[in-house]
A = this chain, B = another copy of it.
């Protein structure tokens, strides 16, 4: 392992440096800030390329690496201090609850290679799922419809639709049965 030989020149950041830098300033002042308000966060994220459906809410303290690699459906909630570290695309469905302090990680490294090659993989969070507070999603994971990842838990593999997971790493706990009403 030789980090001096590392290069990520083949990694596309998707936007010129000046836009990424501008985003850092905008994020620090308006997105990651403690000031409440969802409207201006949604507006600025969209301005920098995020696709966000109607009725979706944003809390304070949020970080997004590349807004141009973020797509969120309708009526989703992005909680306080959520960190969307989207080197690769992050897609969040409709009616999803991403609770406070959740960390979405799309980047990794090939630990078998001397050059520690960068690996990025998208994350997909399907409709009606719930990532509870302080939970973590690893690169390449798909959270299928209605799945729940418990508080403080870690998902490094796909979560099945309408099942509840807990633990680090998480294991399946029980089925999520919705009342018919």
Assess whether A76 is interfacial by the CB under 8 Å rule.
yes
Which residues of the partner chain B approach A55 to less than 8 Å between Cβ atoms?
Answer: 3-4
Q: Tell whether A159 is near chain B: CB-to-CB under 8 Å.
A: no
Q: Do A112 and B176 form a contact, CB below 8 Å, given A100-B85, A136-B152, A154-B152?
A: yes
Q: Chain B residues with Cβ under 8 A from A24's Cβ?
A: 34, 36
The contact of A179 among B27, B77, B114, B150, by CB within 8 Å, is: B114
**Closest beta carbon of chain B to A175's beta carbon, Å:** 10
CA distance in complex: A128, B112 (Å): 12
**Binding site of A, secondary structure by majority: helix, strand, loop or mixed?**
loop
Total interface residues on A, using CB and 8 Å? 57
Contact bitstring A69-86, B, C-beta under 8 A = 1, else 0: 000001111000001010
Q: Does A178 contact B (CB under 8 A)?
A: yes
Query: Which A residues contact B (CB, under 8 angstroms)?
Result: 1-4, 21, 24, 27-28, 32, 34, 36, 55, 74-77, 83, 85, 95-97, 100-101, 103, 105, 108-109, 111-114, 116, 128, 130, 132-134, 136, 138, 146, 148, 150-154, 156, 164, 166-169, 176-179, 181
